Amino acid sequence: MGFIGSNGNIDIEKIRAEFPILHQSIHGKPLVYLDNAASTQKPNVVIDALVSYYTTINANIHRGIHTLSERATAAFEESRIAVKDFINAKSAEEIIFTRGTTESINLVASTWGRHNISKGDVIVLTAMEHHSNQVPWQMLAKEKEAIIRYIPFNEAGELQLDEYENILKENVKLVAVNHVSNSLGTVNPLKQITSMAKKIGAVVIADGAQATSHLDIDVRDLGVDFYAFSAHKLYGPTGVGVLYGTKSILESMPPYQGGGEMIREVTYDSCSYNELPYKFEAGTPNIADTIALKAALDFVNGIGKSTIRAHEQEVYQHAANLIKDIDGLRIIGEAKDKVSVLSFVVEGIHHQDLGILLDQVGIAIRTGHHCTQPLMSKFKIAGTSRASFAIYNTKEEAEKLVAGIKNALKMLR
């Protein structure tokens, strides 16, 4: 796509030009969008794919014999193949489209979970899960009288695998972990966590919501049984998620929701289910957004994850270096391996006040507990301020953030 300049470096201005939303003012100041861990902005190719779908091929898929339906079906299935390649799954039937990471995890909890977890079984989570990879398991554990154990983390926000090793001596059936922490930015050693779980025959599901925009994902190399992620944190549309599952485990599972598409044959007395992946995709799916997801993946592949991550790390590091000078400020999450998430607290300052004042100068950050309340209580804080950087952010924006924080603190202190 030509985002590499003649000097071999990435041309961020060219990339920014692809994101129309970035070129606006908020409260009279140029928008500085640093809430990318919550949702990234969308490049023109994604927006164009949505418009193109509705203006040229909109029709219901998998059932029409007319041309539009065939074209829409083909585009939808091309997206599935693109996702398969993106995470290096073995076959496209291992890719289930959902509404998002949360639904992907709930699907596993209510199908695989309900059939395989019973009284006294242990489900292992980390102490840094997003509520979406914690609450479904708590609900399942309550229903089945199963036990939940948490892998603890150290002060830097790194998982303590020796503790995990001890937990694995129990009757562990499932390990559910985030690949990257949304509030700390920690990259967890998923391959190692999985191989340890596999030694005792436990199933592993990874929440990849925060990982897919930064890291190359190879589900076969990782060895996980399930991998869940969302399109909207990956420069794609909202309302589309992916659940990867190995063919063998998906085949063993009962369906999730009943309806059209997921059946093979229905009589008044019974029904038989469709094959993978349709067994898990009842009803008309989110066709337009799923098709546009492919455009997002092409965009990301066009730049390359390693280029993306190198740039994000540079901007993150610049911000982290500057921010350390601020009196009373403490960075939360300093793992050796982390993505471009800068979470921090300032002594005596409420994160909401900081967020409101930054918004007044056009800087968008996230404040609060980031849907990780147990993690916050572990650090003995109510919440943090979080700036998260994406491919289109610049060092100048990092400087604006730090200047904005300094000015806000002057007003608040």
Question: What are the catalytic residues?
Answer: 371
Please state the closest distance from residue 276 (CB atom) to other proteins, in A.
38
> Which residue has tokens 């301020």?
385
Considering beta carbons, is residue 285 or 355 the nearer one to other proteins?
355
Considering beta carbons, is residue 27 or 191 the nearer one to other proteins?
27
Whether residue 390 contacts residue 213, with contact meaning beta carbons closer than 8 Å, is answered with: yes
Please state the closest distance from residue 362 (CB atom) to other proteins, in A.
11
CA atoms in the 13 A half-sphere facing the CB of 247? 8
Structure tokens at 62: 């998998």
Tally of CB atoms within 10 A around 186:
27
Whether residue 122 contacts residue 145, with contact meaning beta carbons closer than 8 Å, is answered with: no
Please state the closest distance from residue 24 (CB atom) to other proteins, in A.
17
How far does Cα 15 stand from its chain's mean position?
22
Whether residue 217 contacts residue 88, with contact meaning beta carbons closer than 8 Å, is answered with: yes
Considering beta carbons, is residue 264 or 413 the nearer one to other proteins?
413
Please state the closest distance from residue 323 (CB atom) to other proteins, in A.
21
Please state the closest distance from residue 386 (CB atom) to other proteins, in A.
12
Structure tokens at 266: 């229905």
Considering beta carbons, is residue 130 or 318 the nearer one to other proteins?
130
| Closest listed residue to residue 368, CA positions, set 380, 353, 384, 354 | 384
Residues near other proteins, by CB under 8 A? 27, 350-353, 355-357, 360, 367-369, 382-383, 407, 411-412
Distance CA 190, CA 228 (A): 13
Which residues are bridge partners to 344 per DSSP?
331, 385
Considering beta carbons, is residue 136 or 404 the nearer one to other proteins?
404
Please state the closest distance from residue 25 (CB atom) to other proteins, in A.
13
Please state the closest distance from residue 28 (CB atom) to other proteins, in A.
8
- Provide the H-helix boundaries in 109-175: 114-116, 135-144, 161-167
Distance CA 334, CA 329 (A): 14
Please state the closest distance from residue 348 (CB atom) to other proteins, in A.
10
Give ∠ CA 245-127-235 in degrees, rounded to 5.
Answer: 50
Considering beta carbons, is residue 43 or 355 the nearer one to other proteins?
355
| Closest listed residue to residue 395, CA positions, set 10, 28, 1 | 10
Considering beta carbons, is residue 284 or 352 the nearer one to other proteins?
352
Structure tokens at 238: 């909202």
In the sheet with 203-207, reading across from the earlier edge strand, the strands are 95-98, 241-245, 226-230, 203-207, 172-178, 122-126, 147-151
Whether residue 201 contacts residue 233, with contact meaning beta carbons closer than 8 Å, is answered with: no
Distance CA 124, CA 149 (A): 5
For residue 20, cis peptide bond before it (omega within 30 degrees of 0): no
Considering beta carbons, is residue 15 or 357 the nearer one to other proteins?
357
Q: Are strands 329-331 and 341-346 parallel, antiparallel or unpaired?
A: antiparallel
